[in-house]
């Protein structure tokens, strides 16, 4: 995959990209969260 034969490497490459995207999605989903314990 992606010109890399060793699955231990392309998996790391793929997981890095996916986790960065995951962070964006998480941030958007919780953008307007209200925490009842917090001061606003």
Partner 1 sequence: MASSIVLGIAVLIYLMITFYLGWMGYKQTKSTDDFMVAGRKVNPFVLALSYGAAFISTSAIIGFGGYAGAFGMGILWLVFMNIFVGIFIAFVVFGSRTRRMGVNLKAVTFPELIGKRFQSRFIQGFSGLLIAVFMPLYASSVLIGGARFMETALGIDYNTAVLLLTIITAAYVITGGLIAVMYTDAMQGTLMFVGMTILMVYTYVNLGGVTSAHLALTNLASMVPEAMAQQGHTGWTSMPAFGSPIWWTLVSTIILGVGIGVLAQPQLAVRFMTVKNTTSLKRAVLSGGPFIFMMVGVAYVVGALSNVYFINTRGMLSMDVAGGNIDKIMPEYINSAMPDIFVVFFMLTLLAAAMSTLSSLFHNMGTAIGHDLYRESIMRGKIGHTISITKLGIAITIVISVILAYTLPIGIIARATAIFFGLTAAAFLPMYAGAIFWKRMTKEGAIASLLVGTFSSLFWLTFVHAKEATALGISQAIFGQATLLTGTWTLVDPILVATPLSVFVAITVSLLTKPASEEHIKKCFGN
Q: How far apart are CA 26 and CA 10, in angstroms?
A: 24
CB of 34 within 8 A of CB of 25? no
* Contacts with partner 1, 9-28, as mask; x by CB under 8 A: x--xx-xxx-xxxxxx-xxx
Q: Closest distance between partner 1 and the C-beta of residue 7, in Å?
A: 10
Q: Closest distance between partner 1 and the C-beta of residue 20, in Å?
A: 4
Pair of tokens at residue 17: 């990209």
Element (H, E) at 29: helix 7-29
Residues that bind partner 1 (CB under 8 A): 2-6, 8-9, 12-13, 15-17, 19-24, 26-28, 30-35, 37-40
């Amino acid at each position: 995959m992606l010109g890399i034969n060793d699955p231990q490497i392309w998996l790391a490459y793929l997981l890095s990209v996916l986790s960065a995207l995951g962070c964006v999605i998480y941030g958007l989903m919780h953008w307007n969260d209200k925490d009842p314990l917090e001061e606003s």
